[in-house]
Amino acid sequence: MLVSDFDGTMTKYDFFELARRNLASADDYDHWQDYVAGRKTHFDAVAGIFASIRTDWQGIDGILDAMELDPALPEALARLEAAGWKIVVASAGCRWYIERLLDRAGVRLEIHANPGTFAPETGLVLERPVESPYYLYETGIDKSAIMQAALAEDADAVFAGDGRPDLAPASLVKPSHCFARGWLADQLSQQGTAYHRFERWSQIADQLLEST
């Protein structure tokens, strides 16, 4: 099994970072800084950023394009699945845009992410997945619980991620089964923890298939 983050992992850029930088906002409050400083949960910070978005459908679709989903993702997934791999998406972002991007690529995957809906008047309204077996107040989705379930099914399960919510699940897998980029890769390097660095998600598939 391979448990993978989405934003900044299957894509080059995170939705919330692009939204903060490029979309008109209903407020100029720095929700993310509150999270980094420990004044807000990750879920509340992301929800605040998403709800402040003010753009039309063309603008939101432009942000989805700018996330740069790995163009080799469909082919990489097909090769992994043909070799017997099960791929699960675990995201503290929003299921709305994850499904939208994967649908564009013709990809269907098991997804655990926070639900939400977009409208130009309200922005992207994030909801807590309280009915999910993997619900966690801090992030909405508990990636560590998803990783633990994967390890119960496959002791050699693999994790891939890039951000702060990925540090805990990354610590659950063998270093040889951890793939990281961005903030997560830097943090693991500082800790002296071994991992595989990647820049495009399809590189993970290449390495996994080479080793089997």
pLDDT digits (tens, 9 = 90+) for 84-143: 999 999 999 999 999 999 999 999 999 999 999 999 999 999 999 999 999 999 999 999
Containing structural domain, residue 197? 2-210
Closest C-alpha to 165, from 68, 93, 70, 67? 93
Q: Which residues of the chain have pLDDT under 50?
A: none
Instruction: Report the C-alpha gap between 67 and 72 in whole angstroms.
Output: 14
Which pair of tokens denotes residue 165?
Answer: 């919510």
Number of domains making up the chain: 1
Residue 170 belongs to a domain with what CATH number? Answer: 3.40.50.1000
* Confidence (pLDDT) at 27: 78
Q: What is the pLDDT of residue 25?
A: 83
Contact between 89 and 97 under an 8 Å Cβ cutoff? The reply is: no
* pLDDT of res. 133: 97
Q: Where are the beta strands (DSSP E) in 23-76?
A: none
pLDDT at 30: 86
Q: Are 3 and 80 in contact (CB under 8 A)?
A: no
Q: Which amino acid is at 48?
A: G
- Res 212: pLDDT: 63
Global pTM value? 0.94
- Residues 144-147: contacts with CB under 8 Å, at least 24 apart: 144/168, 144/169, 144/172, 146/3, 146/88, 146/90, 146/112, 147/3, 147/90, 147/172, 147/173
CA–CA separation, 126 and 123 (whole Å): 9
What's the confidence (pLDDT) of residue 186?
97
Of 161, 133, 140, 113, the C-alpha closest to 2 is 161
